[in-house]
């Protein structure tokens, strides 16, 4: 398997980053939907701590993925122009969500006056001063970005499955091997 992308396939680094970020984001979405329903308790605080730490890990991986994507060839798409436009639009939307979600979470935590620790190794600086109005606003933004990300994941998955089972092309296979 190649390390870098080619004009026909993704390399192992792009494939690894795609799947590890996908798994991480789906887990964070599930955790986020669950933890907001848990009553105030030590368990809830633990869940929020995990959500913040893994959210920041996701941000760092997304930055790495973006750098890798910019520095590599993107495999060509042999699709009609409107499908290429749709595919690129969904990918850019994903990148928007992938950056906005952890950054809004970081703002929420900063506005609440709490630290954003990275697994106890270091603490990220605050992005804003503590402010309950800012925290409330960004909680709503974070929530709606999460719903948008869920919809985009479903759209992306449906398109990949359509290409695999209906079109019977290699779009999905390129991200699997």
Q: pLDDT tens digits for 101-143?
A: 999 999 999 999 999 999 999 999 999 999 999 999 999 999 9
> Could you report how far apart the first and last alpha carbons of the chain are, in Å?
8
Across residues 145-171, what is the average pLDDT?
Answer: 94
Contacting residues for 169 by C-beta, under 8 A, at least 6 apart:
78, 163
Say what percent of the chain tops pLDDT 70.
100
Map out the domains of the chain as residue ranges: 12-176
What would the mean pLDDT of 87-92 be, rounded to a whole number? 94
Domain range 12-176, CATH class:
mainly alpha
Q: Is the separation of the CB atoms in 151 and 97 below 8 Å?
A: no
Q: How confident is the model at residue 157 (pLDDT cuts 50, 70, 90)?
A: very high
Mean pLDDT within 58-82? 95
pLDDT of residue 170: 86
Q: What is the C-alpha to C-alpha distance for residues 45 and 168, in angstroms, rounded to an integer?
A: 46
């Amino acid at each position: 398997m190649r390390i870098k992308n080619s004009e026909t396939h993704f390399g192992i680094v792009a494939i690894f980053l795609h799947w590890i970020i996908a798994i991480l984001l789906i887990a964070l979405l599930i955790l986020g939907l669950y933890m907001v329903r848990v009553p105030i308790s030590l368990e809830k605080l633990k869940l929020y701590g995990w959500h913040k730490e893994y959210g920041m890990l996701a941000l760092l991986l997304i930055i790495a993925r973006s750098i890798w994507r910019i520095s590599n060839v993107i495999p060509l798409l042999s699709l009609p122009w409107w499908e290429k436009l749709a595919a690129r639009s969904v990918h850019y939307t994903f990148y928007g969500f992938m950056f906005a979600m952890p950054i809004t979470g970081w703002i929420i935590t900063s506005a609440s006056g709490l630290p954003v620790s990275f697994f106890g190794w270091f603490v990220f600086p605050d992005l804003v001063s503590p402010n309950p109005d800012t925290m409330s606003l960004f909680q709503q933004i974070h929530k709606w970005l999460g719903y948008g990300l869920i919809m985009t994941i479903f759209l992306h998955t449906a398109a990949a499955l359509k290409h695999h089972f209906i079109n019977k092309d290699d779009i999905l296979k390129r991200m699997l091997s």
